[in-house]
Amino acid sequence: MTGMPQDRAASQQAEFAVHGRYALRRRGRVIEVDVHDAWNYECMRRFADDLKRAAAPLLPSPWAVLCDLRQWQLTVPEADSINEELQLWSRENGQRWRAYVMPDSLLVADRIEEYSQPIAGDIEERSFATPAEARGWLQSLALYAADPSAPEGGDR
């Protein structure tokens, strides 16, 4: 039965593959995120790590997230603990504003409320129909002003 460990390893590897995509970029003091597809635990874990890396040059200054959720298909409940930890980290590390670009979906709106309301604290959140509207609000707060660190971005 020498093939058994390889079969288990292949099964585990498939089980833990990342499902879901996002594009993340920093512009001024705003981290812009485009969210796509359904996310599993592994995708949420990678996203949390990438968001923290993107925010690091902004600390300790206040910063914002613009999150476009129009292509998101929700996240598995097993990833809720990662989201909660990320929300707490963000609040404790200077995030003060959050702009959501929302699809016309009550399910997504309810899920976002579940995710953020208990933990958001002093993070001001607003929802918008388009990225341009969300950027307009963040621009009114002067968050797109020049940032000494180089812009950063990438797709996952």
Q: What is the CATH number of the domain that holds 27?
A: 3.30.750.24
Cα–Cα distance measured from residue 30 to residue 134, given in angstroms and rounded to the nearest whole number: 11
Cα–Cα distance measured from residue 37 to residue 57, given in angstroms and rounded to the nearest whole number: 28
* 54 located within any domain: yes
Cα–Cα distance measured from residue 38 to residue 6, given in angstroms and rounded to the nearest whole number: 28
User: Token pair 């918008």 is at which residue?
Assistant: 128
What is the average per-residue pLDDT within 24-47? 93
87: containing domain? 17-155
Q: Is the pLDDT of residue 56 over 70?
A: yes
Give the count of domains, the chain.
Answer: 1
* 49 located within any domain: yes
Residue 111: band (very low, low, confident or very high) from pLDDT cuts 50, 70, 90: low
Task: Tell me the pLDDT tens digit for each residue of 65-110.
Answer: 999 999 887 777 788 888 889 989 999 999 999 999 987 655 555 5
Q: Higher confidence at residue 146 or residue 38?
A: 38
Which range among 35-44, 48-57, 120-129 has the greatest average pLDDT? 48-57
Which residues, 6+ apart, have CB-to-CB distance to 21 below 8 Å?
Answer: 35, 36, 37, 43, 155, 156
Chain-wide mean pLDDT for the chain? 79
* 4 located within any domain: no
* 8 located within any domain: no
DSSP symbol at 38: E
Q: Is the pLDDT of residue 154 over 50?
A: no
Q: Is the pLDDT of residue 148 over 50?
A: no
* 142 located within any domain: yes
Q: Is the pLDDT of residue 57 over 90?
A: yes
Q: The tokens of 24 are what?
A: 């993340």
Reported as half-sphere exposure (CB side, CA atoms, 13 A), residue 145 has a value of 8
* 122 located within any domain: yes
* 111 located within any domain: yes
Quote the pLDDT of residue 151.
44
**Confidence (pTM):** 0.76
